[in-house]
Amino acid sequence: MSEKPLSAQTNQNTVQITFPDQTQLALQVFSDAIIRVCPIDALPAASYAVVAKPQPTQFTATVKNGVAAINTAALHVKVYPDHHMDVFDQNDRELIMDYRGQRQPLNRDLAADETSLLEEEGHAGHEEIDATAALTLTKQLDPDEAFYGLGDKTGFMNKRGYEYENWNTDDPAPQMENFTRLYKSIPVLYGLRQGRPYGLFFDNPYRSHVDLGKESPAYYSYSVVHGPLNYYIIGGHRLADVVANYAHLTGTVPLPQRWTLGYQHSRYGYQDAPEMIQIADGFRQHDLPCDALYFDIDYMHGYRVFTWDPGRYPDPKKLIAQLHEKGFKAVTIIDPGVKKDPGYTVYDDGKKHKVFVKTPAGKNYVNRVWPGRTVYPDFGKPKTRQWWGQCHLALTKIGVDGIWNDMNEPASFDGPIPDDTVFSDNGKKSTHAKMHNLYGHNMSHATYDALKEQTGRRPFVITRAAYAGTQRYATVWTGDNHSLWAHLQMMIPQLCNHSMSGFSFAGTDLGGFGSDTTPELLTRWIEAGLFSPLFRNHSALGTRRQEPWLFGEPTLSIYRKYLKLRYRFIPYLYDLFALAQSAGKPVMRPLVYDFDEDRQVYDIDDEYLIGDALLAAPVVTKGKTSRLVYLPAGQWIDFWTGKVIPGEQEIRAAAPLDTLPLYGRVGTMIPWGPAHQFLTDEPDQTMTFKVFGDTASYDHYQDDGYDFAYQKGEFNQYHVTFAQGKPAVTLTTAGYPAGLYPEITVAAGDQTFALQLENGKYQLIDKN
Ligand code: MIG
C-alpha cells in the first residue's frame, strides 16, 4: 500500500492534519497569537482552565512538498510528515523547534541495590516520572533560552536547568529549589529564545512533568501520564504580550475588595474569643494598621467544618461584630475533609445528597485529615458545589468576610488517595488521577459562587491548591514556608512567577510559617513583602509568635513604618488590579517582564517591579546593610532621597535595617493614598499623585471597592498629567459620583499643587 502524503483540511478555525500513517492532529486557531494543538477527538473536550473561545482570525493553511504551513499574523507553524512540528514568529525566526535527536537520560551512576542502601539512611530515591508518561514533547533548547512561569514552583526566577512536576502536594518539609512539586499545578511556561518570547500552556490536569534542560542542555520536555496531549502555542510581540494572551485565555483576576489589599494577620492558632480581641486591640494600641484577622482550624468543634467550638467561641456572631467594630474583617479557614461522624449535620446531609467521593465499589471513600476519619466532597459535581456553597451560610450569616481554603490538594494522612477513586468530572464519572489537580480549583469555584450569592460583595477566597484558571475564583498563598532567609529569598521568584502565570493575587506567609522567626528576618520580610499583593503575616503552632509588638524596638517601629507605607500604596495597587482584570497585566513583576530585551535581568531573583512605576530591591540576606541593585533602562529616582540615578547600571544602595531600597521610574506617576488604620467602604476624600521626574501621565481608577456596581458603570477614571511644571486632572469617566475626590494633590519633586472639584472639573487652586 503506497502512503498518502500529508494533507491539511481547514474547517472554520480548525486545521485538520492527516499524516501519511493516517493519524490525525488538530490545530485550532484561537487568535493571531494563540494556536491550540490536540488530537481531533479531544477538540470538543471542556477545559477547567480555558475561558476564551476561538476568535474569527485571518490565517492560511497550505501544504507544500508534503509539509503543512499554518500562518497567522503572529505565528508560523510547520507540521512535517514524520509528526514533527516547528513554530516560528511572523519573521520566520525560530521559537519552538522539535528536538529530533535521542534523549540522554541523566547518568545517576546507581545500581538497583544501591537505591535501597540510600533509602536506609532516609534518602529519597529520584522518581523518574517520564518512565510512566504516556506522552512526551521534546523541544530544542537554545544555549541562551530562559524560562518563567509554572506558578508556585520553588527555586529561582529563571526555571532553566530544573525539573518540575504537576501533582498538587502537601509536603511540610522546608521547600528548597530541589522540590519538584508543590500545592499547585499551573502548567504555563514562558520561554525567551534569543530574546524572542513565546508561551506554552499544557492543558491537561493529569500528573505531568516538565524538564527545562536539567536532563540535557540540548532539549526541554513536557510529559504527561495520560492523554490527550492538549496544548496551546502562545505568541506575542514582547513577553508582556504573551503573558496577557495567556491571561485572556484562562481568565483574568477579578477586581478584589479594597480591604483585601490591607495588612492581614493570622496564626495557627489563636486560642479563643478573648485572645482574638486581645490581638485586635494589640494592633490598634500599637498604632499598627491592619484589616483582617484569621481563624485557623482550632476555631472549629473537633475540626468539623462549618462548626464553632462552643467552649472557645460561645458567641461567634458577637465576636465578629466586635471585630468589625474595631475595623477588622474576619476570615475563617475551611478544609475540604468532612468528619465521618453520624449525627454531625454536614456529614449526614452530604451523605444523604450523595456528594462525597466514592471507592470503585461505590462506598464513600474515607481517609484521614485533622478531624480524624474523613470523607471528601466531590467538587467536580455541580450538585456538590451547590451543596458546599449552601454550607457557607453558617459563616456568612454571622458576618464572616472571607474564606481560606486549605488542605485541598487534597491532603490525606493515611497514604495517597488511590488513582482509581471515583471523582466527578463536571458530573461525569472520572478518577482521582484526572481530578486530583483540579480539586482545589473546583472547591474555590464553589466557594466563590457561594460568597458572591450570599454577600453580594466581591468574594475573598484564598486557596492553597489550584490549577490554571483558579485565579478567576481565588487568591492564593504559597503554603507552608519557614522562617528561613532562603524562604524570604524565594518569595520574590515565587510571587513573580505566580503573577506571570495568571495569579496576580498571591502572597507568602510574611515572617515565615514554620520555624522560629528572628527580629531581623521579620523586619526584612515586611520590607521585602511591602508590595506583596496578599499581605499576610502567618505562623505555625509551636513556633515563635509573630505579633510585631512582641519584638520590641527597633522591630516594632520599622514594622509600623512599612504597614503605614503599604496603606499609602493601596490606591496604586488597586489601579494595578484593575489593569490585571482588564488587560491581564501582572501586579508584581519580574524585571524581565518589562525589560525582556535586557539579557542582564533574566536571572535577577532579588528585585521586582510593581506595575511599571516602581522597582523594589529588598535586602534578603542576614546581616547586610547595603546591597547591589541593577537598575534597568531609563532613569530612576531613589524613593527616600529623591536622587536621580541613570539606569542600565548596577549601583550599591544603602540599606540599613529600616530601609527597603525602592525606586520610582522617571516619567511615571503613582497615586498615594491617605493614611488609614484600616479600610472601610467609605471613599477617600483626597488623593495625591506623586510624579517621578518632570513629565508624566497616569490613569487612575476608582470605584466603591466592594461590590459589582462597577460592572454597571459605577466607577470613576481620572487622567492625570504633569508637564511643563503644570498639573491637570481630567475626569474621563464619572459613574461613581459619590466617590469623586473633593481635592487632589499633585506632588512633583519638592513642589505640590492642589486641585479642587468645581462643577465636575478639577481646578488648580494653589501652588506651594
Ligand atoms: O499545617 O490549618 O498551610 O497555613 O495554618 C497544618 C493549619 C494545616 C496548613 C496551612 C497553614 C495552616 C495549617 N494547615
Residue 333 near residue 404, CB atoms below 8 Å: yes
Q: What distance in angstroms lies between residue 274's CA and the mean position of ligand 1's atoms? A: 22
Calculate what percentage of the chain has a pLDDT beyond 70.
Answer: 98
pLDDT for 652? 98
Task: List the alpha helices (DSSP H) in 164-291.
Answer: 239-250, 273-285
Residue 112: pLDDT band with limits 50, 70, 90: confident
Q: Is the CB of 170 under 6 A from ligand 1?
A: no
Shortest-distance atom of ligand 1 to CA 296: 2
Say what the pLDDT of residue 2 is: 60
| Confidence at 114, pLDDT banded by 50, 70, 90 | confident
Nearest CA to 634 among 587, 668, 593?
Answer: 668
| Of 428, 496, 442, residue with least CA distance to 472 | 442
Tens digit of each residue's pLDDT (9 = 90 or more) over 504-549: 999 999 999 999 999 999 999 999 999 999 999 999 999 999 999 9
- Nearest atom of ligand 1 to the alpha carbon of 541: 5
Q: Using CA atoms, how far apart are residues 619 and 55, in angstroms rounded to an integer?
A: 46
Same domain, 575 and 708: no
Residue range 98-118: mean pLDDT, rounded: 86
Instruction: Flag whether 140 is in a domain.
Output: no
374 and 483 in a common domain:
yes
| 269 and 381 both lie in a single domain | yes
Choosing from 49, 76, 92, the residue where a domain stops is 92
Q: Which residue among 413, 480, 509, 545 is best mutated to probe the pocket of ligand 1, counting the most ligand atoms within 8 A of its Cβ? A: 480
Check whether 175 has a pLDDT greater than 70: yes
**Is residue 562 domain-shared with residue 689, that is, in the same domain?**
no
Query: Cα(370) to centroid of ligand 1, in Å?
Result: 10
Find the 198 Cα to ligand 1 centroid distance in Å: 36
Q: What is the pLDDT of residue 125?
A: 67
Judged against a pLDDT cut of 70, whether residue 1 lies above it is answered with: no
Q: Whose CA is nearest to atom 2 of ligand 1?
A: 297
Ligand 1 binding pocket includes 371 (Cβ within 6 Å):
no
> How would DSSP label each residue in 384-416?
HHHHHHHHTHHHHTTT--EEEE-STTT--SSSP
Answer whether residue 34 is part of any domain. Answer: yes
- 554-583 mean pLDDT: 98
Atom of ligand 1 nearest to the CA of 480: 3
Catalytic residue numbers? 406, 409, 480
Instruction: List, for residues 578-621, the tens digit of each pLDDT value.
Output: 999 999 999 999 999 999 999 999 999 999 999 999 999 999 99
Is residue 720 within 6 Å of ligand 1 at its C-beta? no
Ligand 1 center from residue 463 Cα (angstroms): 11
Q: What kind and span of H or E run contains 12?
A: none
Length of the chain: 768
**Of the residues 92, 120, 154, which one is the last residue of a structural domain?**
92
Expressed as residue numbers, the domain containing 324 is 258-583
Using a 6 Å cutoff on CB, does residue 268 contact ligand 1? yes
Q: State pTM to two decimals.
A: 0.97
Q: Which atom of ligand 1 is nearest to the CA of 268?
A: 5
What single string gives the DSSP state of each residue in 515-572? S---HHHHHHHHHHTTT-SS-EE---TTSPP--GGGG-TTHHHHHHHHHHHHHHHHHH
**Is the pLDDT higher at 430 or at 1?**
430
How high is the pLDDT of residue 111? 81
CB of 507 within 6 A of ligand 1: the answer is: no
The reply to whether 289 and 399 lie within a common domain is: yes
Q: Do strands 366-369 and 402-405 pair parallel, antiparallel, or not at all (unpaired)?
A: unpaired
Whether 425 shows a pLDDT value over 80: the answer reads yes
What does the pLDDT read at residue 767? 58
Q: Is the beta carbon of 300 within 6 A of some atom in ligand 1?
A: no
| Alpha carbon of 160 to ligand 1 centroid (Å) | 31
Q: Is 480 in the pocket of ligand 1 (CB under 6 A)?
A: yes
Judge whether 38 lies within some domain.
yes
Whether 204 is covered by a domain: the verdict is: no
pLDDT at 56 over 70: yes
Q: Whose CA is nearest to atom 12 of ligand 1?
A: 268
In a domain, 235, yes or no: no
Give the integer Cα–Cα distance in Å for 480 and 503. Answer: 18
Band (pLDDT 50/70/90 cuts) for residue 121 is confident
Nearest CA to ligand 1 atom 13: 268
Q: Is 378 in the pocket of ligand 1 (CB under 6 A)?
A: no
Condensed to tens digits (0 to 9), the pLDDT of residues 19-48 reads 999 999 999 999 999 999 999 999 998 999
Give the closest residue (by CA) to ligand 1 atom 14.
406
What residues contact 40, with CB distance under 8 A and at least 6 apart?
16, 24, 25, 26
- 299 touches ligand 1 (CB under 6 Å): no
Ligand 1 pocket check for 476: Cβ under 6 Å:
no
* 703 CB within 6 A, ligand 1: no
**CA–CA distances in Å: residue 437 to residues 380, 441, 709:** 11, 8, 34
Q: How far is the CA of 89 from the centre of ligand 1 (A)?
A: 45
Which atom of ligand 1 is least distant from the CA of 411? 8
Tell me: do 688 and 568 sit in the same domain. Answer: no
The 10s digit of each residue's pLDDT in 352-385 is 999 999 999 999 999 999 999 999 999 999 999 9
* Look-up of cell digits 531613589: 638
Of 513, 538, 539, 543, best ligand 1 pocket probe by most atoms within 8 Å of the beta carbon: 513
Assess if residue 173 is contained within a domain: no
Q: Is residue 127 predicted with pLDDT exceeding 90? A: no
Compute the distance from residue 464 Cα to the ligand 1 centre, in Å.
Answer: 10
Cα separation, 636 vs 625, whole angstroms: 21
473: domain CATH number is: 3.20.20.80
- Given a contact cutoff of 8 angstroms between Cβ atoms, the answer to whether 660 and 634 are in contact is no
How many Å apart are CA 141 and CA 211, to the nearest integer?
11
Q: Which atom of ligand 1 is nearest to the CA of 297?
A: 2
Q: What span, in angstroms and rounded, lies between the C-alpha atoms of 126 and 562?
A: 43
- Other CB atoms within 10 Å distance of the CB of residue 104: 11
Question: How many domains are contained in the chain?
Answer: 3
Instruction: Out of 266, 268, 270, give the residue to mutate to test ligand 1, the one with the largest number of ligand atoms within 8 Å of its CB.
Output: 268
Give the residue-averaged pLDDT of 68-73. 98
CB 333 near ligand 1, within 6 Å? yes
Pair (704, 575) in one structural domain: no
pLDDT of residue 647: 98
Q: How far is the CA of 406 from the centre of ligand 1 (A)?
A: 7
Average pLDDT taken over every residue of the chain: 96
pLDDT at 639: 98
Co-location of 560 and 704 in the same domain? no
**What distance in angstroms lies between residue 471's CA and the mean position of ligand 1's atoms?**
21
SS3 590: coil
Confidence of residue 130 (pLDDT cuts 50, 70, 90): low
pLDDT of residue 119: 79
Residues near 440 by beta carbon (within 8 Å), at least 6 away in sequence: 168, 183, 184, 405, 408, 409, 410, 463, 464, 465, 466, 467, 470
Q: Is residue 296 within 6 Å of ligand 1 at its C-beta?
A: yes
Residue 580: half-sphere exposure toward Cβ, Cα within 13 Å: 28
CA of 716 from ligand 1 middle (Å) equals: 40
Strands 163-166 and 208-211, how do they pair? antiparallel
Residue 664 lies in a domain: no
Residue 673 pLDDT more than 90?
yes
CB of residue 409 inside a 6 A radius of ligand 1: no
Q: What is the DSSP letter of 514?
A: B
Q: Which of 68, 92, 116 is the last residue of a domain?
A: 92
CA-proximal residue: ligand 1, atom 5 (nearest): 268
Which CATH number belongs to the domain containing residue 740 in this structure?
2.60.40.1180
Distance 154 CA to ligand 1 centre (A): 19
One domain, residues 576 and 703: no
The finding on whether 401 has its CB within 6 A of some atom of ligand 1 is no
- According to DSSP, residue 482 is labeled B
Ligand 1 near 309 CB (within 6 A):
no
Q: Residue 202 falls within a domain, yes or no? A: no
pLDDT of residue 115: 78
Ligand 1 nearest-atom number relative to CA 335: 2
Ligand 1 proximity of 527 Cβ (cutoff 6 Å): no
Distance 333 CA to ligand 1 centre (A): 9
pLDDT at 108: 84
Cβ-Cβ contacts under 8 Å for 111 (sequence gap 6 or more): none
**Residue 406 near ligand 1, beta carbon < 6 Å:** yes
Q: What is the phi/psi pair of residue 731, to 5°?
A: -85, 110
